[in-house]
Amino acid sequence: MERRRLGRLNHGTERFSSTVTRWTGGTSAFALAFAVILIWAATGPLFGFSVTWQLVINTGTTIITFLMVFLIQRAQNKDAMAIQLKLNELVAAVAGASNRLIDVEDLSEEELKALHRFYGKLATMAKKDSTILQSHSVEEARARHERKKPGPIPAR
């Protein structure tokens, strides 16, 4: 019973967060924020530009900013996970693609740097190809690169 209630709460919170995130990224949210600033600025002379008048906007924007940081982070985390899953599916589905890259985001920073250097070498090799339309796996590119190395010139 408790688990079901927690599940509904999580689902409701997720739906609310997604709705707010989409709305705040839209034109109407910007227009509302701009209108609030204009109204606040216009009321400045009415309140004599008092400390309380300034405190109202400072407090309001601080609270909204604090909440938005979490909403934006949540949205970015969800988007990043979705992109990673799509990329994992592509790597898993493509013949010749290295399965070492599935869940690469879980590697340590040092491991990622090593892979970056490795693929940097692949990019260097690919730049030497005659056309940019060719694509290779790392293993194929290395073998191809090795075959291309100039050897001794055969005697005629």
Question: Domain segments of the chain: what residues?
Answer: 2-102, 107-149
What's the alpha-carbon Rg for the chain, to the nearest Å? 28
pLDDT of res. 152: 56
pTM attached to this predicted model? 0.60
Alpha helix positions (H), the chain = 2-24, 27-42, 51-93, 109-127, 138-148
pLDDT in tens, 34-81: 999 999 999 999 999 999 999 999 999 999 999 999 999 998 999 999
Higher-confidence residue of 118 and 63: namely: 63
pLDDT of res. 136: 59
Nearest to 45 by CA among 57, 53, 36: 53
Mean per-residue pLDDT over the chain, rounded: 85
The answer on pLDDT for 107 being more than 70 is: yes
Percent above pLDDT 70 for the chain: 85
Higher-confidence residue of 19 and 150: namely: 19
